[in-house]
Amino acid sequence: MVEMDSTRLVKGSAYLATQSIVTTLIGAVALAFIARILTPVEMGVTVVLMLTLGLAQVFTDLGFSGGLTKFVAEYRGKGVDYTLMSFGAVLTKALVAGSAAALCFLMAPWLSGFLLKSGEYIFLFQLLSVNILTFCVRPTVHNLLWGVNRLREMAILNVVSAFIGRTSAVGFLLCGFGLVGLVIGWILGELAYIILGALIIVRNRYVKIHPLGEVVPYLKMLAKFSWPLFVTGVVLFLYSWFDQALLLVYAPLNEVAVYSIAFKAFGVIALMPVALSGALFPYYSEQHGKDEQQKIVAGVHGSSRYIALLYTPLALGLMATASPAITLFAGQTYAGGDVILMILCLFGGLSGLVASFGGLLLVYDMTPTVLLINVASVVGSVVMLPVLLPSFGVLGMAVVKGVAMVISFVLTVVVLRKRMPIRFDGEAVWKSWAAAIGMFVAVWLVEYVYFSPYLLPLYVVVGGVVYAVALRLLGAVNENDMRLIRNLLGKKGTVIVNVVEKVLV
């Protein structure tokens, strides 16, 4: 039974990880075009637009999306009808998102003047109001599919949405539409996800129309659970954006653009643990509904192993190749962001194991605790700003952001240990770090001998080979890992598994 659960989790994670890889490639290619077509100042304007979208999303969500996933997954585990909950959440989100879009349209002149100190972006904010509607509705569709464990469909929709959105944006930019074309591309990508996701939901009757009188009690239950989650969402938004928001106040738009490019590059590797965390959340919620505590403990231990073995080399690998990676994909204009990227990768590698918890604080209804942890992580790191920002500028902000990640991870571990035993796979953690450090040194030496951004594929190959050899010498991969891969790939993957086994085991 444990092996079946592990296979199920790995399959769910594999869908999301594969989606992350594909969407990352799509995004990287699109970024290479966008960063070269738009000026650094225009790239800085895109940061303001995304900040506005994120702010609208967090305030229209009301915390319902996370609660929707939890209750749908938990009710499925208990065998209880969840469509009353899903119908109420969808109806509420449609009304609130529509109101936010109308408000943005009406406030476009003020937003342009206040955020960008210019009246030339009024139409851009009016167009952004349409994007707000699609951007805010999408999470409800996404979280409902997440709750019913349709991870494969989620992955496919994310790829389709990314492809349509990015290619449309680049196409409009090449045709000379500028920032307006970029926003239209964003809208088309979100619409694709919403329409296709709605078809899956309607076809499988994940949402059924019910009288409002029957829905209201479920909405009250959802609201009671979600109001701390809403406040937490606001704080999470602050946690995610406080660095770029502060830079918008204290730094010129071109420096904000450089920091933003580096942060996006870091976000590429961060998608892997996010994918695993996404697969774990509905699984943990379902097991919590069945009162299977030991399966949750085993899930944390097993997932920590694969985060260590897979994410650690990604973090240190990107850290080693930061300069050629940014230069190759974003252009020489943003090459100065390489040190920012290195700092973020180091702290990201140190805190990556937090993904193994898969939203356990929400599963255990500890939403106020999530709020306090994120407030503490932001406050605890921001106190460093008066020293780091004036002296080191955007580099100091990168350190502040990294410290916030580590504080959040440490506090989460401390809190959860009061609720359940936390057992990370210590052997996998130290062996992955030892192998990854060896990989980092090898890549750095090759770059020192001869550096060129166009040799990035060679650096990646060198790092991959060194890491694989180090894993074999350390005996980090075992037969259980190979059995799990066999269960995941089936008979079609026999050749691949045999090759991997000969190399690593």
pLDDT at 357: 81
Segment of 5-19, 105-119, 139-153, 284-298 carrying the highest mean pLDDT: 105-119
| Sign of the four-CA dihedral 240, 242, 246, 248 | positive
Residue 157 is encoded by which pair of tokens? Answer: 């929709």
pLDDT tens digits, residue range 192-202? Answer: 998 998 888 77
Closest by alpha carbon to 15, among 142, 147, 154, 140?
154
Closest by alpha carbon to 404, among 370, 368, 380, 369?
380
Q: In this structure, are residues 443 and 459 in contact, taking their beta carbons and an 8 Å threshold?
A: yes
pLDDT tens digits, residue range 464-476? Answer: 999 999 998 888 8
Q: Is residue 158 part of a domain?
A: yes
Res. 1 pLDDT band, cuts 50 70 90: very low
Residue numbers of the domain that contains 20: 2-474
pLDDT at 465: 92
Angle at 412 between CA 408 and CA 413, to 5 degrees: 120
> Does residue 9 surpass a pLDDT of 60?
no
Q: Is residue 487 part of a domain?
A: no
Q: Is residue 413 part of a domain?
A: yes
pLDDT at 444: 93
Q: Is residue 275 part of a domain?
A: yes
Q: Is residue 502 part of a domain?
A: no
Q: How far is Cα of residue 377 from the mean position of the Cα atoms in its chain?
A: 18
Q: Is residue 388 part of a domain?
A: yes
Q: Is residue 497 part of a domain?
A: no
Q: Minimum mean pLDDT among 76-80, 101-105, 256-260, 418-422: which range?
A: 76-80
Structural domain total, the chain = 1
Which position has the higher pLDDT, 106 or 237? 106
pLDDT tens digits, residue range 343-402? Answer: 999 998 988 888 888 678 877 877 678 778 878 888 888 788 788 877 788 888 889 888
Angle at 65 between CA 96 and CA 191, to 5 degrees: 65
Write down how long the chain is: 505
pLDDT tens digits, residue range 326-338? Answer: 888 888 888 888 9
Q: Which amino acid is at 456?
A: L
pLDDT at 101: 92
Backbone φ/ψ region at 222: left (φ over 0), alpha (ψ -120 to 50), beta: alpha
Q: What is the pTM of this model?
A: 0.74
Q: Is residue 479 part of a domain?
A: no
